[in-house]
Chains A and B, each alone.
Chain A
Amino acid sequence: MNEGHETAQKSAIEKAPYMRFLGASMHHALVTTLRRKRTILAGVIALLPVVIPLLLTVFTEGAFGQEGNKLFVMLVEDIYVKALLPLLAMFFGTMLIGEDVESQTIPYLLTRPFPRSALVLGRFAAYMIIATALVLPGIFLTFAACTALGSFSFSPANLRLMLHYDGALIMGLMGYGAFCMWLGAFFKRPIIVGVTTLFGWQRLAFFVPGLIDFFTIEKYVTALLPPLAEARETPTLRTALAEFQKQQFLIGAAKSVAALCIITAAMIAITVFVVRWREYSQAKAMES
């Protein structure tokens, strides 16, 4: 029986091209993700920063009223890059494999005649489509809302600035998404590990002296951000004894892109490896 099944699987794999498997996996992940109400919640969260400049145009004048540029940069760099990117990646990334693991439906999925790598890659592609579709309109609307404030307009230079941020955010989504997908595939409680790593470790590594911050994704995403007139903040750590200034080791944009691509590829490869080798079936699942 088993022999016959394996033979059929092999022949199915041989007959169907790899891209078809990938497409099917992506479509399945897309549809299942879009059916979740939490996707709407994630979309609302991703669009929330747009409300800030809108409220500022109505309710305040003066300092912020004249600083559309400053506000846009602040919203993208502080809210999107530092908070929303890891949050969305955790939201969707851990779900890609983790949801099936948690609901114990992954054994059924893995019995399908699919290459495991196509399954993982297809899901990752679906994540990228959804996350990008949520973030990019948010960035554009934030940009447009900031132009309603002073000293910021729909000029080619400002549009280039927005596109630059879009590129950096897509790269960030890629890195964070691959990492979170691995978390979902590997850990039993991926959200806890994700929060600890992305919001705990990354923050801590940013302040610890030395090269430890190279072991964070944020380091590479931040390096991709457009250099603006505003000075990049120098991280300072206030302690009971004194205030230390951390020496920053800067990294170029090309190296950051390469690093993010390597991280993504490595994480996808590890996830494929984990999905291939990890024993997901449990007695409870089998019973059910």
Chain B
Amino acid sequence: MRRTRGRKSHRERRTILVLAAIVCVLAVAVLWARSRDPEALRPPPRPPEMQARTAAPENAYHVLGEALYLLPAENPMPKKYPVPGRPGLEAFYSTEVNSIARELDIWAPDDGPEVAAYLEQCQPAIEKAKQALACPYFLIPQEAGQAKRAIGDPAFTTLLHASCRHAWEIRNDKQTALDLFFDAVRLCRLLRQDGAANELSWIQSKEQNLWRQLADYVKETGDPAILNHALDRLMELEEPPPLDWNLILDAEWRSEWEYLERMRAQGSLQGPATLANVLRMRHERRMIRSIINKGGIWTQTLSLPYPRFEEALGGNPGGPLAAAKDYGGCESVWYRLWEAKLGQTCCAAMQRQLLLLALLELHRLDKGQYPEALAGAAAGRLEMLPVDPFTEEQFQYNPLTPERLLVSPGPKTYPRSLFRPDLNWRAEIVNGVVGIQTTPKED
């Protein structure tokens, strides 16, 4: 009888104890959740002084935002042109690759009135965008969202580039073209101040396209006045300061975060995928930041000149090379940082080669031939010869082979070789133009 009563009373105690245990477990979970940093998965906010700078009117972002509103609402409507060789037949004009019209998304020939009229309509926006060049910095507000795309993407550099080409190739106004060209380069350098590594690659490739364009102009023009003008502008153009890798990492994180948010808002990314991406981003950046901040070794490494950076790249087993392989391949931040470093060095090499190329062309126009040594061309113009940023030595100079007049061997290891080890990668800079060659490896 006693046993039965005891068992019975035990049952209600069991219920109470089980429920109390569940409540306790949940309470502990709540306490744990509350103790977590709710912002832990989010990209770190900018420091207060950076936030103040972002909101300040001196931020070029605001000026470019105003310029954006001055752009024409629509491109010219396509109209039919007579088909050559077929009288009486008309068709919509098909633009060629690399044409000015295609760059502006206009269905007309480069010398057509539509292109000129459109560029004329864009003039107020271009003038406004030029005002941004006087701004000390460019920082995209974190809440910018979609607006970031329009302003952060090199839309105005494309417009300036097209205007430059139109002035040079169609209107034959070469002085204006050169001014527009250097405005476009300066705008590229301004835009990359905020750039996440991903966007940085875009901006750097845009800058490389601009330098390639200038290389063509320098080679084709035979006008010493134009060359002198280009040379003066090149000498005025200061090389950009080294990139702040911590800033890039944060910007990269923010950029990826915004992308994920956008994808999730559109419904194209579900919860688990978002979580996996967010956790990967956080882990990778924490890992990278810990390596970068470890005794300051990697901070120094990333800001090293390229030859020493490459030495560190291959020499340290826990360094970027291994991390790029281990963490997400092409998506890895290490890989993007490496590409950004390479892109920056390529731009510097192109700028320096073009400076020398302009001097060499002036020498050739003056003396009828290229000088025997580079120092001969720079005499009286430059205090010291610019060196190849990839080797920290003078550029290879071949006066007898004008097609390979100035050569930089480029990087020893190309980032993409990590993922295609079966190919030999070669990215040399010849006469101010980056050329990437791939050849199959011989076993």
Q: Shortest CB–CB separation between residue B360 and chain A, in angstroms?
A: 56
Contact check, A134 vs B19: say whether CB atoms are below 8 A apart. yes
Known: A47-B23, A137-B23. A34 touches B264 (CB 8 A): no
Known: A34-B11, A35-B8, A144-B30. A60 touches B274 (CB 8 A): yes
Known: A60-B274, A61-B41, A62-B261. A141 touches B30 (CB 8 A): yes
| B residues near A47, Cβ cutoff 8 Å | 22-23, 26
Contact check, A50 vs B264: say whether CB atoms are below 8 A apart. no
Contact check, A43 vs B36: say whether CB atoms are below 8 A apart. no
Instruction: In the complex, identify which listed stretch (A121-129, A146-154, A200-208) lies at the interface while the others stay far away.
Output: A146-154
Q: How large is the interface on A (under 10, 10 to 19, 20 to 34, 35 or more residues)?
A: 20 to 34
Taken together as a complex, chains A and B put the C-alpha atoms of A59 and B278 apart, in Å, by 10
Taken together as a complex, chains A and B put the C-alpha atoms of A31 and B29 apart, in Å, by 30
Contact check, A54 vs B12: say whether CB atoms are below 8 A apart. no
Whether B42 sits at the interface, judged by CB under 8 Å, is: yes
Q: Shortest CB–CB separation between residue B28 and chain A, in angstroms?
A: 11
Q: Shortest CB–CB separation between residue B354 and chain A, in angstroms?
A: 46
Whether B38 sits at the interface, judged by CB under 8 Å, is: yes
The residue of chain B having its C-beta at the shortest distance from the C-beta of A34 within the complex is B12
Known: A47-B23, A134-B19, A137-B23. A60 touches B30 (CB 8 A): no
| B residues near A141, Cβ cutoff 8 Å | 23, 26-27, 30
| A residues near B36, Cβ cutoff 8 Å | 57-58, 148
What 1/0 flags go to A22-47 for Cβ under 8 Å of B?
00000000010011110110011001
Which residues of B in the span 16-48 have a Cβ within 8 Å of any Cβ on A? 16, 18-19, 22-23, 26-27, 29-30, 33-34, 36, 38, 41-42
Contact check, B30 vs A50: say whether CB atoms are below 8 A apart. yes
Which residues of A in the span 172-193 have a Cβ within 8 Å of any Cβ on B? none
Contact check, B19 vs A40: say whether CB atoms are below 8 A apart. yes
Contact check, B275 vs A60: say whether CB atoms are below 8 A apart. yes
Known: A35-B12, A60-B275. A149 touches B22 (CB 8 A): no
Contact check, B33 vs A148: say whether CB atoms are below 8 A apart. yes
Q: Shortest CB–CB separation between residue A64 and chain B, in angstroms?
A: 10
Q: Shortest CB–CB separation between residue B31 and chain A, in angstroms?
A: 8
Taken together as a complex, chains A and B put the C-alpha atoms of A42 and B165 apart, in Å, by 76
The residue of chain B having its C-beta at the shortest distance from the C-beta of A151 within the complex is B38
Most chain B CB within a 10 A radius of its CB, from A34, A37, A51: A34
Whether B271 sits at the interface, judged by CB under 8 Å, is: yes
Q: Shortest CB–CB separation between residue A277 and chain B, in angstroms?
A: 33
Taken together as a complex, chains A and B put the C-alpha atoms of A171 and B264 apart, in Å, by 40
| B residues near A144, Cβ cutoff 8 Å | 27, 30, 34
Whether B268 sits at the interface, judged by CB under 8 Å, is: no
Q: Shortest CB–CB separation between residue B426 and chain A, in angstroms?
A: 44
Taken together as a complex, chains A and B put the C-alpha atoms of A40 and B23 apart, in Å, by 12
Q: Shortest CB–CB separation between residue B186 and chain A, in angstroms?
A: 37
Whether A145 sits at the interface, judged by CB under 8 Å, is: yes
Contact check, A43 vs B22: say whether CB atoms are below 8 A apart. yes
Taken together as a complex, chains A and B put the C-alpha atoms of A144 and B32 apart, in Å, by 11
| A residues near B18, Cβ cutoff 8 Å | 40, 43
Contact check, A65 vs B23: say whether CB atoms are below 8 A apart. no
Q: Give the residue of B11, B19, B33 whose beta carbon is less than 8 angstroms from that of A145.
A: B33
> Is chain B's interface secondary structure helix, strand, loop, or mixed overall?
helix
| A residues near B41, Cβ cutoff 8 Å | 61
Contact check, B22 vs A65: say whether CB atoms are below 8 A apart. no
Q: Shortest CB–CB separation between residue B14 and chain A, in angstroms?
A: 8
> Is chain A's interface secondary structure helix, strand, loop, or mixed overall?
helix
Which residues of A in the span 228-259 have a Cβ within 8 Å of any Cβ on B? none
| B residues near A58, Cβ cutoff 8 Å | 33, 36
Whether B401 sits at the interface, judged by CB under 8 Å, is: no
Contact check, A145 vs B30: say whether CB atoms are below 8 A apart. yes
Contact check, B29 vs A54: say whether CB atoms are below 8 A apart. yes
Taken together as a complex, chains A and B put the C-alpha atoms of A51 and B22 apart, in Å, by 11
Which residues of A in the span 110-156 have a Cβ within 8 Å of any Cβ on B? 134, 137, 141, 144-145, 147-150
What 1/0 flags go to B259-283 for Cβ under 8 Å of A?
0010010000001001100100000
Q: Give the residue of A31, A44, A62, A65 whose beta carbon is less than 8 angstroms from that of B12.
A: A31
Taken together as a complex, chains A and B put the C-alpha atoms of A212 and B359 apart, in Å, by 92
Taken together as a complex, chains A and B put the C-alpha atoms of A147 and B261 apart, in Å, by 22
Q: Give the residue of A51, A59, A62 whose beta carbon is less than 8 angstroms from that of B264.
A: A62
Taken together as a complex, chains A and B put the C-alpha atoms of A184 and B34 apart, in Å, by 43
Taken together as a complex, chains A and B put the C-alpha atoms of A115 and B399 apart, in Å, by 119
Which residues of B in the span 182-223 have a Cβ within 8 Å of any Cβ on A? none
Q: Shortest CB–CB separation between residue A238 and chain B, in angstroms?
A: 22
Which residues of B in the span 269-306 have a Cβ within 8 Å of any Cβ on A? 271, 274-275, 278
| B residues near A134, Cβ cutoff 8 Å | 19
Taken together as a complex, chains A and B put the C-alpha atoms of A142 and B271 apart, in Å, by 22
| A residues near B4, Cβ cutoff 8 Å | none
Most chain A CB within a 10 A radius of its CB, from B15, B18, B30, B261: B30
Which residues of A in the span 55-101 have a Cβ within 8 Å of any Cβ on B? 57-62, 65
Taken together as a complex, chains A and B put the C-alpha atoms of A141 and B30 apart, in Å, by 7
Q: Shortest CB–CB separation between residue A88 and chain B, in angstroms?
A: 13
Taken together as a complex, chains A and B put the C-alpha atoms of A44 and B274 apart, in Å, by 30
Contact check, A54 vs B38: say whether CB atoms are below 8 A apart. no
| A residues near B19, Cβ cutoff 8 Å | 39-40, 43, 134
Contact check, A149 vs B271: say whether CB atoms are below 8 A apart. no
Contact check, A65 vs B38: say whether CB atoms are below 8 A apart. yes
Q: Give the residue of B16, B26, B34, B271 whose beta carbon is less than 8 angstroms from that of A50.
A: B26
Contact check, B15 vs A34: say whether CB atoms are below 8 A apart. yes
Contact check, B33 vs A54: say whether CB atoms are below 8 A apart. yes
Contact check, A147 vs B12: say whether CB atoms are below 8 A apart. no
Taken together as a complex, chains A and B put the C-alpha atoms of A58 and B26 apart, in Å, by 14
| B residues near A37, Cβ cutoff 8 Å | 15
Contact check, A35 vs B29: say whether CB atoms are below 8 A apart. no
The residue of chain A having its C-beta at the shortest distance from the C-beta of B264 within the complex is A62
Known: A35-B8, A54-B33, A148-B34. A61 touches B23 (CB 8 A): no
> With contacts A39-B15, A58-B33, A145-B33 known, what are 4 further pairs, Cβ within 8 A?
A31-B12, A34-B11, A54-B33, A61-B278
23 A-B Cβ contacts within 8 A? A37-B15, A39-B19, A40-B15, A40-B18, A40-B19, A43-B18, A43-B22, A47-B22, A47-B23, A47-B26, A51-B26, A53-B33, A59-B271, A60-B271, A60-B274, A134-B19, A137-B23, A141-B23, A141-B30, A144-B34, A145-B33, A148-B33, A148-B34
Lowest 4 A-B CB distances belong to which pairs? A34-B12, A148-B33, A43-B19, A35-B11
